[in-house]
Amino acid sequence: MKPLLVAHGLRKSFGARRALSEVSLSLEAGELVAVLGPSGSGKTTLFRCLTRLVEPDAGEVLIEGISIGRLKGAALAAQRRKIGVIFQQFNLVRRLSAIDNVLAGRLAEVPLWRVLLRQFDDKDEARAIQALCDVGLADHIDQRADTLSGGQQQRVAIARALAQQSRIVLADEPVASLDPETAAAVLAVLRGLTRSAGLAVLCTLHQPHLAEQFADRVLVMDNGVLRPQAARETTPAVFSVGEAHT
């Protein structure tokens, strides 16, 4: 099968500090790949380079087979739209209902007047309702986002990515603000959708046990270098809590 997202030899430095060195990866439909690594190891830079929010110094990114390195304006936006992004802080519009937040995933294709009046057609609404059902929130469609629990909010955010109809999902620490039980439930939803909807999910985590439990593959980011996790590699030293005071 052709991979949905490919990166070749990505390099990025900020001044003298090297954030990414020769990072390559490939992501196929139906797999959830976890990236482990401490903060500052380059995970966020990698994500930003994959969508060209940050311009890599070298290397290439292909989204569904199309290189985005030279794209501009509308063409770049059209490729970016194929990637759904999930954030640590959910980033829902707090005063809008769950379904209105999911409908945000449709905005790129909805005419401006409909957005201004917040009046969507039946097809888009049906799609949003379907997405909410897919993440198990059928009972909370009209509930305001700021009254939902953290786990529910993150599931709305996943539904928003589904409504966007992107097959590639980048999830940057999606469960870092959730308690362990909720975190596992949200990752289970994400993993289920990876299988049922054929998504390709790249997900940064910092708990190795969650990565082992839910990911098909685990990559480790260490000082800008991305490598597969060695067999039976236990919690690497980089994840231990910072040195105790001396």
Partner 1 sequence: MHGTIGDIKRKKRGPGERIAFAGLLALGVALYVVCLQVADVSFARLWDGLPRLGGWLMRGWPPDLSEIDVLAYRALETVAMGTVGTSFGVLLAVPICLLAAGNVTPSRWLYYPARALLNALRGIDSFIFALILVAAVGLGPFAGVLGLALHAAGSIAKLWAESIEAAEPGPMDAVTMTGASRLKTIRYALVPDVLPSLTSITLYMWEWSVRASTVLGVVGAGGIGQELKNSVDLLQFDRVFTILGLILVMVTAIDMLSAQLRRRLV
Rounded least distance, CB 39 to partner 1, Å: 18
CB of 58 or CB of 110, closer to partner 1: 110
CB of 43 or CB of 208, closer to partner 1: 43
CB of 36 or CB of 171, closer to partner 1: 171
Rounded least distance, CB 245 to partner 1, Å: 9
Distance, first Cα to last Cα, the chain: 53
Cα separations in angstroms, 18 against 11, 13, 53, 71, 86: 8, 4, 17, 25, 26
Please provide residue 108's backbone torsions phi and psi, each rounded to the nearest 5 degrees: -60, -30
Q: What is the DSSP letter of 229?
A: P
CB of 13 or CB of 143, closer to partner 1: 143
Beta sheet of 66-67, edge-to-edge order: 17-27, 5-14, 58-63, 66-67
CB of 12 or CB of 80, closer to partner 1: 80
- How far apart (Å, rounded) are the C-alpha atoms in residues 117 and 100? 12
Rounded least distance, CB 103 to partner 1, Å: 9
Sign of CA dihedral 32, 36, 149, 125: negative
Checking 76-79 for CB contacts under 8 A at 24+ apart, the result is: 76/52, 77/108
- How far apart (Å, rounded) are the C-alpha atoms in residues 162 and 197? 9
CB atoms within 10 A of CB 72: 8
Interface positions with partner 1 (CB under 8 A): 51, 77-78, 80-81, 83-85, 87, 89-96, 104-105, 107-108, 110, 112, 115-116, 118, 157, 160, 164, 246
Rounded least distance, CB 32 to partner 1, Å: 20
Rounded least distance, CB 166 to partner 1, Å: 9
Rounded least distance, CB 123 to partner 1, Å: 17
CB of 36 or CB of 98, closer to partner 1: 98
